[in-house]
Chain A
Amino acid sequence: MTNIESADQAKQDSSYREVLTELLYQLADDDFIVSFRGSEWLGLAPHIEEDVSFSSITQNTMGHAVLYYQLLEELGEGEADVLAHERPPEKRRNAIYLEKQNGDGSYLDEPYYDWALTVIRQYLYETFKKVKLEALTKSSYVPLADAAQKVLMEQTYHLAHWKTWVRQLQDSTEEAKTRLQSRLKEAWGEFLDVLELGPKANDMEKHQLIVAESVLQKKWLEEIKETLAVIPAEPLQKNKGSGRNTEHTQDLTQALVTLSEVYDQDKNAVW
Chain B
Amino acid sequence: MEQDHKQIELETVLKKVDDPELPSVSVVDLGMVHEVKTDNQHVSITMIPTFAGCPALDIIEKNVKEAIEQVDWVESCDVTFSFRHKWSTNAITAEGKKQLKKHGVAPPPESYQPGEEWSVDCPYCGSLYTSMENVFGPTACRSILYCRSCRNPFEAMKPVIDYSVV
Contact = CB atoms under 8 A, between A and B. Distances in A.
> What band does the interface of chain A fall in when counting residues whose beta carbon is under 8 Å from B?
20 to 34
A67 B134 CA distance: 26
Contacts of A63: 51-54, 140
A154 B140 contact: yes
B96 to A, nearest CB: 19
A119 B44 CA distance: 45
Interface string A49-67: 1001100110111111011
B114 A153 contact: yes
A231 interface: no
19 contacts: A52-B136, A53-B134, A59-B53, A60-B51, A60-B140, A63-B52, A63-B53, A67-B52, A67-B83, A138-B165, A149-B86, A149-B162, A150-B49, A150-B52, A150-B83, A150-B86, A151-B52, A154-B140, A160-B135
B88 interface: yes
B160 A153 contact: yes
Given A138-B165, A153-B86, A160-B115, A49 B52 contact: no
Contacts, number: 72
A95 interface: no
B21 to A, nearest CB: 13
B135 A66 contact: no
Interface string B42-55: 00000001011111
Tell me whether chain B's interface is mostly helix, strand or loop, or mixed: loop
A213 to B, nearest CB: 19
B161 interface: yes
A49 B133 contact: yes
Contacts of B53: 59-64, 66
A161 B49 CA distance: 23
Interface in A36-58: 49, 52-53, 56-57
A59 B56 CA distance: 13
Contacts of B136: 52-53, 56-57, 157, 161
